[in-house]
Amino acid sequence: MPMKSIEKKQAPMWFTILGIIALVWNFLGVGAYLIHVYMTDEMISELPQAQIDIIYNTPVWVNGAFALAVWCGLLGSICMLFKKKISVYLFQVSFAGIFLQNIHSFFMIDAVGVFGLVQGLIMPSIVIFFAVVLILVNTTAKKSHWIR
């Protein structure tokens, strides 16, 4: 019995617009990661002591999770724009990185006390929210055959 070919359907325009927003968002995340990784000792010395302590005492797995989150998010956004279903999995891996990184921020350090409400709680919450939205939208796109 021959296999049925599933026809790819046209994605709505908002899907492409969201893909462009996701690409810009994830480029900003990569930029933040690169700034974090390439901070010189001189740059670090200008920070408040509490932030310096966190930078020098952050476990390797947290920085690895940060890298995983931003690079998989960027690749997921590119795949989303090219209508590739691997975007779902890349966004899921990105979310796992975000989740691990935020376990450290929310439960192992006083992120709000050290970085303030916006950088310590609001921004990470927005990142988590947007990551979940991208997973849900791309999962729907896969089920709707907008992506292959």
pLDDT given at position 1: 52
Neighbours of 103 (CB within 10 A): 13
pLDDT given at position 119: 92
In the chain, domain spans: 13-143
Q: Which residues contact 123 (CB under 8 A, 6 or more apart)?
A: none
pLDDT given at position 7: 67
Q: What's the rounded Cα separation, in Å, for the pair 70 and 58?
A: 18
> How much is the pTM?
0.90
Q: Which residues of the chain have pLDDT under 70?
A: 1-8
pLDDT given at position 20: 98
pLDDT given at position 9: 86
pLDDT in tens, 51-62: 999 999 999 999
pLDDT given at position 91: 98
